[in-house]
Amino acid sequence: MKKKISVIFLVVIVIVAVTGVWVYQMFYGPAVENRVTVILRADESYDEMTKKVKSALLYHWSFDIYAKRINLDRGIEPGKYTFDEGMSVINVARTLKFGADNAVRLTINNARTPEILAGKISRQIYADSLSVAMALRNETLIEELGFESAEAMFSIFIPNTYEVYADIAPEALVRRLKRESDIFWSQAERQKQLERLGLSPYEVMVLASIVHEETNAAEEMARVAGVYVNRLKRGMPLQADPTLKYAAGDFTIKRVLNKHKEIESPYNTYKYCGLPPTPIAMPDMAAIYGVLNYEEHNYLYFCARPEMDGRHNFATTLAEHNRNAQAYHSALDRMKIR
């Protein structure tokens, strides 16, 4: 009997010890596998906020228990929270209790519309996408900053990563991005590049948006830009297919047809010479630098390669271009792209 009692007692001790280790691990052990940053918004509920946090944790049950113990449900301060690898559930909950790091690194990059840009921005600061979109389309603000439309304004912002406060007002952010753009263009190197081009900063962004949509091959952007610069200098229409897609309101068009060339729009660069009135997208830095450092050559034409590798064949004469175009269209026919 004593032996049985001893065995039972030993088993109980082992169970208690294992349970203790397990409970300790749930609360004090490493709960964050990889460093992660989450942004919690003022318009989100407690459940929505903690769902984001728990997606980065190994132990959800213990988080809920400890969060309730410290009354975390009475309010989490919105903001940016970074949880380092190895942090425990208790560390994470206390971090939420004591408040956020309000500084964020806001990255903006290419977008085709103000609404798309607004969505990207809203995922990085407290403001929702509607508030950002309204700021980007605020007519008073657009006029204040010297533009005629939202499309003209948003697309001249320089793609980069900016240090801002997460609670920055959307209108203040727009003004900040305009200042950053002004700083970029005021640099001595930029001024020399603009003088060589004979274009204004705005015109560079318009042309860069076309180059950006023409090719994904960064290494040939300067050559593509050179073709358009040659055409501008000769008074030739740009005949840029992306501007037809923009005019049609459909960037999914895979094959530009004659009917697209007949669209009545100031963006139809087959009908009208010169640059379109606004950029057709926010260009990336590769396209901007491609225009600023455009390649000097004699090419007046280019056409996608029949290999469909995202690159282009360039030509100095219309006859040569027509041969390149026929090869490309034959490839489209083989692929049954209409």
Residue (of 270, 260, 280) closest to 338 by Cα position: 260
pLDDT at 1: 59
DSSP 8-state assignment for residue 57 = B
Residue (of 131, 39, 32) closest to 85 by Cα position: 32
Residue (of 210, 186, 197, 110) closest to 154 by Cα position: 110
Residue (of 218, 260, 265, 227) closest to 241 by Cα position: 260
**pLDDT 10s digit of each residue in the chain, 338 long?**
555 555 455 544 545 444 555 566 767 777 787 888 888 877 788 888 888 888 878 778 788 888 888 888 877 778 778 887 777 878 788 878 777 666 788 999 888 889 999 999 988 887 888 999 999 999 999 999 999 999 888 888 999 999 888 778 899 999 999 999 999 999 999 999 999 999 999 999 999 999 999 998 999 999 999 999 999 999 999 999 999 999 998 888 888 888 888 899 999 999 999 999 999 999 999 999 999 999 999 999 998 888 888 889 999 999 999 898 888 888 888 877 76
For 62-119, the pLDDT digits (tens) are 888 888 888 888 777 787 788 877 778 787 888 787 776 667 889 998 888 899 999 9
CA atoms of 327 and 330, how far apart (whole Å): 5
How many residues can be counted in the chain? 338
Which long-range contacts does 22-28 make (Cβ < 8 Å, 24+ apart)? 23/62, 26/59, 26/61, 26/62, 26/89, 27/59, 27/62, 27/66, 27/88, 27/89, 27/90, 28/88, 28/89, 28/90
Query: What is the maximum span of the chain, computed from C-alpha positions, in angstroms?
Result: 107
pLDDT at 21: 54
Region at 86 (left for phi over 0; alpha for psi -120 to 50; beta for the rest): left
pLDDT at 15: 52
CA atoms of 312 and 224, how far apart (whole Å): 9
pLDDT at 11: 47
pLDDT at 274: 93
Residue 79 C-alpha from the chain's centroid = 20
pLDDT at 10: 53
C-alpha gyration radius of the chain:
29
Q: What residue spans define the domains of the chain? A: 2-98, 103-186, 188-297
CA distances from 72 to 77, 98, 99, 158, 306 (A): 10, 10, 11, 40, 61
